[in-house]
Amino acid sequence: MTEKLWGGRFNAPTDAFVEAFTASVSFDQRLYEYDIMGSIAHARMLTHVGVLTETECTQIVDGLKEIQQEILQGEFNWEVALEDVHLNIESRLTQKIGTVGKKLHTGRSRNDQVATDIRLYLRDETDLINTELTRLITALIDVAEREASTLIPGFTHLQSAQPTTFGHHLLAWCEMLLRDKARLQDCRQRVNCMPLGAAALAGTSYPIDRYYTAKLLGFETIAENSLDAVSDRDFAIEFTAAAALLMMHLSRFSEELVLWSSAQFNFIELSDAFCTGSSIMPQKKNPDVPELVRGKTGRVYGHLTSLLTLMKSQPLAYNKDNQEDKEPLFDTVDTLKGCLRVYADMIPAIQVQREQMREAAQRGFTTATDLADYLVRKGVPFRDAHEIVGKAVRHCIEVGCDLDALSLAVFQGFSPLIDEDVYDILTLEGSIAARDHIGGTAPSQVHAAVQRLRTRL
């Protein structure tokens, strides 16, 4: 029987399979840095309130720092029999410094310890994710500024609708990502709340100073209720919900990149560094990165559902169910960071096929709305103008030409109010230039939006 740190009440050893089944050290060892950070702060707080002596604190802190080096150098022996990251580190500390190591757990429980570790971990990871997100938004803004006048068809129902610019299109992506950034920053405030001091569920009888510990660990607030402190996983669910939304946005970008890089669209070419070939078809250049990001979206959705289901119907306070919170959270973090990183690297290397975009924007009667607006400015009610233009489009379909190819005489057959100046508004440049208002697609507005976005970012 391996001696358990909690084994005093037990007469028989844990079943071997149960020991392996209930252990979490295979995945929660990634929390070691935060476990050690929290333990050092806890030891210093216990010294601050007189529970530990300065000498004992120094031994504990030095021992924990040595253990951290052992882990970093790959010299630490993780034992399944010791269940988790907490007991593995505590056991090793006791091996190194003797009885003093057993005093570290005074006034705390693994329940508030693990809740603290996860929050410390997620706080750092949220900051790293925000850094990658900022890098991606910056890349999009840079390309949008460069392509502020590049014409592209705008779509509704994936049908040509109105001309727009590639820069304006990319800035729409930026708006989505800025909302994601705001959600993550808001979520971080609730992550950065310290549960340590709640102990198992009811607090501790030792004279702890939770505000002192919170200051050492950089927490903005402390959890007010000990029962909630150890059982709350809202912050993990909220983060995963924000991640799911962000991944949904990346999947939408991915779909457009896949379409645009196809031979049928040929709007862009992705760098070879972000594509792969076919094992049988030598001509293929597959957009594997956006396809894989699109696929990984479902993975994060699944983790959100998993965490919501995990917490469903759980009574207060801590339950062993909560061991299952880490793998979905860890994989969400890893997936999101990876997707953002590869996108931030891929976007600046996109080659834009400007002539192909312009040619596509000329197809599909994309300036029809401009013709209707022209008639409205001549005094025609919009619904009547809509009908007139619809008939003109039908005529173009029948004879096989675009609107700007119709003679003035034919135009006046649909409305005598149409004059020579109609051809000015039927050009693609005229169409986008006319939408010269905040949020519009005019190149001047795209440049102005770029500057506002840089300031917001």
C-alpha–C-alpha distance, residues 159 and 16, integer Å: 62
For the question of residue 157 being annotated catalytic, the response is yes
Instruction: Please say if 407 is a catalytic residue.
Output: no
Q: Is 402 exposed, middle or buried (0-12, 13-18, 19+ CB in 10 A)?
A: middle
Tokens of 113: 């310890």
Among the listed residues 26, 48, 169, 278, the single catalytic one is: 278
For residue 351, what are the β-bridge partners?
269
Instruction: Considering the candidates 157, 205, 407, 437, report the single residue annotated as catalytic.
Output: 157
Return d(Cα 457, Cα 450) in angstroms, integer.
Answer: 10
Q: Which positions are annotated as active-site residues?
A: 157, 278
